[in-house]
Amino acid sequence: RIGLSIHYVSPDVRETRIEGATAMLVRGEDHHGHWGWDPEPVEDHDTTCLAALAEIHARYRSAADQKVVAGVKQ
């Protein structure tokens, strides 16, 4: 089984729990700069991309462990 979740948001939306979160722009232009860019692979199993993936997973796990009340980290 594979889980896949796609969320479409406007570029002006900001991630508040994960520093350095990345997103793919699928339409228009980003004039806000709230999202980072994922590195583009140059070969299969690109080590740079795998390292970036491991880093964002670690950030996500850390943010998921934090308690948030009314949108404010505690």
Per-residue pLDDT, 17 = 81
Mean predicted confidence (pLDDT) in 21-30: 90
Q: What is the arithmetic mean of pLDDT over 56-71?
A: 78
Task: Give the model's pLDDT for residue 55.
Answer: 92
Cβ–Cβ under 8 Å, residues 38 and 49? yes
Residue 21 has pLDDT above 90, yes or no: no
Amino acid at 30: D
Longest Cα–Cα distance of the chain, Å, equals 43
